[in-house]
Amino acid sequence: MKSNEEYLLVPNGLAKTKIEKLSEYLSVEQIEISIGGSRLLGPLIVMNNKGILVSRLADENEIKLLKKSTGLPVERLLSRYTSAGNLISANDKGVIASTLLKDMENQIVDVLDAPVEFITIASFNQVGALMVSGNEGSAIHPQALDEEITKAAKILKVDVEPITINRGLPYIASGIILTKEKAIVGSLTTGPELIMLSRIFKL
């Protein structure tokens, strides 16, 4: 799944009762969709409240549905790398992108309407998988360097803190759905992790 503060994108085929419970709890509108026919949305989409970038694998009908349902600008990321969501993390104030996407700067800025910084995190290029960026705070891979945390905080204009999810997993984006005032996390997430996440995102 993928979310911003207004919409929750859910894969086609997810049980209607689950979709309704999720959207009701998070106070967002749900949109059932696939990207390139895939139900794996998180790695293939990056979104904030200003725009949506999707994998180049997305077809025209999927893009039209996103545009019609959200009213936001939606474009394919014009890169040979298909996992847009794994390579970019964004809030409304800034964008953290993989160094693999430096030639995509103009498109990223245009669609997401925010400045971008290209970094690695803990020597990984998949920065979108290693961060969850909200407008009140951001969580980052527990082995992120101080320099990386400082850069991320400067561009996102929020506090950035290292944390794990689902009992110690460092791939933060795999276990959090974040909206404006609420979040849903993986069922293995521990009490201490929940407390830290609540503080980071001011929930």
Could you read off the pLDDT of 79-107 as tens digits, one per residue?
999 999 999 999 999 999 999 999 999 99
Q: What is the pLDDT of residue 182?
A: 94
Q: Count the domains in the chain.
A: 1
Is residue 43 within 8 Å of 86, Cβ to Cβ? yes
Q: What is the pLDDT of residue 147?
A: 96
Q: What is the pLDDT of residue 46?
A: 98
Structural domain span for residue 117: 2-201
DSSP per-residue codes, 125-173: S-TTTSEEE-SS-EEE-TT--HHHHHHHHHHHTS-EEE--BTTTBS-GG
* Nearest alpha carbon to residue 117 among 100, 137, 94, 139: 94
pTM over 0.85: yes
Write the CATH number for 54.
Answer: 3.75.10.10
